[in-house]
Amino acid sequence: MVTKFLPLPADSGGKQRSLAILRRLARLGSVVLCAFDQGGADLQGLAAMGVEVRSVPWSPTPGRVARGIARTGSGSAARFWDRRLAAMVAGAGKLPIDVLQIEYATLAPYLNQTAARRRVLDLHNIESSLAASYARSTGPLRAVVTRAEALALRRLEHVGLRRANIAVVVSRHDQDRLPRSDAEVLLCPNGWEPGPLLPPAPDPVVIFVALFGWRPNVDAAVWLAERVWPLVRRQRPDARLLLVGRSPTPQVQRLACSDITVTGSVPDVRPFLAQAQVAVAPLMSGGGTRLKVLEALDAGRPVVATRIGAEGLEDLIGQGVVVADTAELMSAAICGLLEDGGQTQELGAQGRRAVADRYAWDVTLEPLLRRLQA
């Protein structure tokens, strides 16, 4: 298996998906994991799973990025091309390999580093569509650069699908966005490991959990704080908003005020979910499916989301998820849930049941695991 970063601790949505797949591959046979090490990885925990780890430090120096651009043609993928990691993947291939599992389209260049009976490309997002979506929602100068990157990523996806036997997507939307290829396509949505139900929260608190160094989440936080929250504040002056997540940009940090808290990195999200009555996913661009929506629903918190924020989870609309695409509709939905504690708890309970039934990792990853076992 090749992924961006060692996935333990699983402190991001991408790491959570990679870790869920890794755990289940380790039950099928011996696994060598090749990835970058950002520092602080739980190597003992990975070893306890029976995984052999081969890693290189995460150090995207200008020279390495330049070589990565020459190798991949993409600025996004360039940061993850490293000849040291490629050599590790090739070295692992000296033993007979049944499955080469590559996470992310940006790591597709590693598909041809070693031989394997089956080559799997797990597409956490359709990166080219994500970049194109962002280009449509940004300023004209940045849009030119982003559209060029979208074309580069599309070429990379074409190359990856030509080299892979199996492509894995997380939603029907992403399946429709795939370039045409001969690869077998499997739908394995993002999932969640069910946890304990949180008790009802006593105060009118709203939470948005995200990686606030990622551009679509930054834009969502700004829109939420500047367009939606003033309308909520007008109706519920006692309400508070929590922006919880790693790497907040200065733009996000400046949103902090008397009733908006920007936490930065936290060791555990659940204490903050325990404070909240309602969660939100106000994304205006992006792709894939939102693990943070599943996390909130599993805790018993209903989610108010834009249609993009709920993408890939449309079956949960009305069962834990409320869709609101304008500032007026989102503020009205948030205030309605803050006013009616009974409805809030019932909607959260419906979402929790739906996540357990349809989005446990063993359910969502079953098509891939069944295919590999066959």
**pTM confidence score:** 0.88
* 239 is a domain residue: yes
* 365 is a domain residue: yes
* 196 is a domain residue: no
Asked whether residue 267 falls in the same domain as residue 237, the answer is yes
Asked whether residue 210 falls in the same domain as residue 181, the answer is no
Asked whether residue 278 falls in the same domain as residue 328, the answer is yes
pLDDT tens for the chain, 374 residues long, are 999 999 999 988 899 999 999 999 999 999 999 999 999 999 999 999 999 999 999 999 999 999 999 999 999 999 999 999 999 999 987 888 999 999 999 999 999 999 999 999 999 999 998 888 778 777 888 889 999 999 999 999 999 999 999 999 999 999 999 988 999 999 999 999 989 999 999 999 999 999 999 888 999 999 999 999 999 999 999 999 999 999 999 999 999 999 999 999 998 999 999 999 999 999 988 765 689 999 999 999 999 999 999 988 999 999 999 999 999 999 999 999 999 989 999 999 999 999 999 999 999 999 999 999 98
Asked whether residue 84 falls in the same domain as residue 119, the answer is yes
Asked whether residue 218 falls in the same domain as residue 152, the answer is no
* 332 is a domain residue: yes
Q: What angle do CA 13, 15, 18 make, to 5 degrees?
A: 110
Please tell me the predicted confidence (pLDDT) of residue 26: 97
Query: In total, how many domains does the chain have?
Result: 2
Asked whether residue 20 falls in the same domain as residue 96, the answer is yes
CATH number at residue 176: 3.40.50.2000
Q: How far is CA 246 from CA 16, 267, 286, in A?
A: 15, 10, 18
Asked whether residue 187 falls in the same domain as residue 232, the answer is no
Q: List the domain range (segments joined by +) for residue 346.
A: 205-358
Say if residues 320 and 303 touch (Cβ distance below 8 Å).
yes
Asked whether residue 86 falls in the same domain as residue 157, the answer is yes
Asked whether residue 60 falls in the same domain as residue 158, the answer is yes
Please tell me the predicted confidence (pLDDT) of residue 289: 61
Asked whether residue 176 falls in the same domain as residue 223, the answer is no
d(CA 328, CA 231): 7
Please tell me the predicted confidence (pLDDT) of residue 294: 96
* 286 is a domain residue: yes
Asked whether residue 256 falls in the same domain as residue 347, the answer is yes
* 199 is a domain residue: no
Please tell me the predicted confidence (pLDDT) of residue 13: 87
Please tell me the predicted confidence (pLDDT) of residue 288: 58
Please tell me the predicted confidence (pLDDT) of residue 287: 62
Q: Give the chain's end-to-end CA distance (angstroms, integer).
A: 19
* 198 is a domain residue: no
Q: What angle do CA 96, 99, 100 make, to 5 degrees?
A: 100
DSSP state of 76: H
Asked whether residue 173 falls in the same domain as residue 239, the answer is no
* 156 is a domain residue: yes
Q: How far is CA 269 from CA 42, 97, 209, 256, 278, in A?
A: 19, 38, 8, 18, 14
